[in-house]
Amino acid sequence: MYNTIETPNDATLLLDLEGLHVVKVERGDDGYRAVHVLTSDDTARACPTCGAFSVTVKDRKITRPRDLCAGGRPFTLLWHKVRWSCRESLCPRKSFTEQISQVAAGMRTTARLRGACGRAIADGGRTVAQAARDHRLSWPIAMRELRRYAAEVLPEEPEPTPVIGIDEIRRGRPRWEQNPDTGKYVLVADRWHVGFTDIAGGQGLLGQVEGRVSTTVATWLNARPQAWRMAVTHVAIDMCQTFRCAVRAALPHAVIVVDHFHLVQLANSKLAELRRRLTWKMRDRRGRAGDPEYDHRRLLRSNREDLTDDHLAVLERDLNRIGTYGRHILAGWHAKEKLRHLLALARTNPPRSVIAHRLHAFYAWCADHAYLPELITLAESVASWWAEIEAFLLTGISNAKSEGTNRVIKLEARCAYGFRNPINQRLRSRCATTRGSRNRSVPA
């Protein structure tokens, strides 16, 4: 029978499981290895209840805790344990089995195996099911280890940052049901998550809340310490009135910034609406191949600097041949380009006189074509958000990091085939979006 020993050997160093000593390694007929180990930690003889060291052996048993693979293949760990008798008269425990920090009493897996599973999900980009399968653990254990590891590496409160970005992302697909009385489909479920991203630093996703309403956004901001809120000087958002109201209520001192991406997207959508409306008026149908305005829809979405002179000549020629409606579509394209010409001043430290000149040119063009409702709506949107747009022109702050964070979140949900638990989804999203900054902080 094996006895407790403390002399290290090469196999013990290779196993590197604190508290255990390798006695021998065998290879069975099936090719799997069996590693026999004994307890080398003298504190394993201490009673867990009273702390007294026992000297009386009651029984011996062999357990098989699962551990990390060695050499790329799993092995069987045979732990020859001793069951000790506690001789303290006042101790309610009469006997106990040896345990070490890596393998607690009653555990069938080592702590480093479970920890590696949690790290594989949080830092390795694996799904819970895949990590559990690779580490020979169950799904609940893998999810529990992810929560434990996330609690260690994710800070409870984000570090102060001068610039944050706010953006929403849909959680799953909207659900529609048909009204039996009217026969129309109504929206019954459309769940959203609103994320807060560190724009100025590398913290990634600072947090998420469920629900795209101003109260939930303001509640998350107000829950941060006063020093953290005062450190925020700029907030980047899209053209969402919900976010603007929440920021003004929770961070009244912060400057709200709307970047150019959503403005150009709005201009392109208004141009597409104009093109479709005029196509219906001209042809009494939707556009299709062979219609000049339909064939050139990609050129209409393109930027002026991306078009060659030949492309621009073809676009103007074909739209002018249509007549009045074609010239109206061309006017909508010029309105979009004048807005882009204004937004191009960002990050150039422009004087306010230049900004005012280009803004007036855009407004004047829309006013000259006031018979086009799409251009009037576009001009009204720019006017209602001008303070935030001007802040973008003067600071150049963009919400691109928030958009990139949303892309990572969508990829994480796609790899997991969706999420049913919103709490787990927010945890997985934050682990995925902070993976780069956490890995950079870990020394090689």
Residue 360 DSSP SS3:
helix
Residue 27 lies in a domain: yes
Decide if 174 is inside a domain: yes
List residues bridging with 78 in a β-sheet.
Answer: 36
Q: Are residues 245 and 279 in the same domain?
A: no
Query: Do 341 and 370 share a domain, yes or no?
Result: yes
Q: Are residues 76 and 15 in the same domain?
A: yes
Q: Is residue 338 part of a domain?
A: yes
95 in the same domain as 113 = no
Is residue 158 assigned to a domain? no
Residues 384 and 275 placed together within one structural domain of the fold: yes
Instruction: Determine the Cα–Cα distance for residues 295 and 293; give it in Å rounded to an integer.
Output: 6
The tens digit of pLDDT for each residue in 252-303 reads 999 999 989 999 999 999 999 999 999 999 999 999 999 999 999 999 999 9
pLDDT at 8: 65
Which pair of tokens denotes residue 212?
């795209």
Query: 283, exposed or middle or buried, with CB in 10 Å at 0-12, 13-18, 19+?
Result: middle
345-392 tens-digit pLDDT: 999 999 999 999 999 999 999 999 999 999 999 999 999 999 999 999
- Report the pLDDT value the prediction gives residue 421, as an integer from 0 to 100: 85
Confidence label for 442 from pLDDT (cuts 50, 70 and 90) = very low
pLDDT at residue 178 above 90? no
The count of structural domains within the chain is: 4
Which residues does residue 235 pair with via DSSP β-bridges, in sequence order?
164, 256
For residue 139, being part of any structural domain is answered with: yes
Q: State whether 331 and 364 are in the same domain.
A: yes
Structure tokens at 411: 């990829």
Write out the E strands in 99-241.
Answer: 163-170, 175-178, 185-189, 192-198, 205-210, 234-237
- Domain identity same for 87 and 48: yes
Instruction: Let me know if residue 58 belongs to a domain.
Output: yes
CA-based angle 223:224:229, to the nearest 5? 125
123-158 burial by CB neighbour count: b if 16+ within 10 A, else e? bebbbbebbbeebebeeebbbebbeebbeebbeeeb
- Mean of pLDDT over the chain: 90
Residues 269 and 373 in one domain: yes
Residue 5 clears pLDDT 70, i.e. is over it:
no
Query: What's the average model confidence in pLDDT over 155-164?
Result: 92
Question: CATH no. for residue 181?
Answer: 3.30.420.10
For residues 320 and 295, the answer to whether their CB atoms sit within 8 Å is no
Q: Please give the residue range of the domain that contains residue 143.
A: 109-153
The answer to whether position 128 is within a domain reads yes
How many whole angstroms separate alpha carbon 33 and alpha carbon 136? 17
Co-location of 132 and 221 in the same domain? no
426 and 387 within one domain: no
192 with 248, same domain: the answer is: yes
Among 332, 324, 323, 321, which residue's Cα sits nearest to residue 299? 332
Instruction: Decide if pLDDT at 232 tops 70.
Output: yes
Q: Which residues contact 439 (CB under 8 A, 6 or more apart)?
A: 123
Do 144 and 93 have their domain in common? no
Encoding tokens for residue 153? 């590496």
The model carries a pTM of 0.81
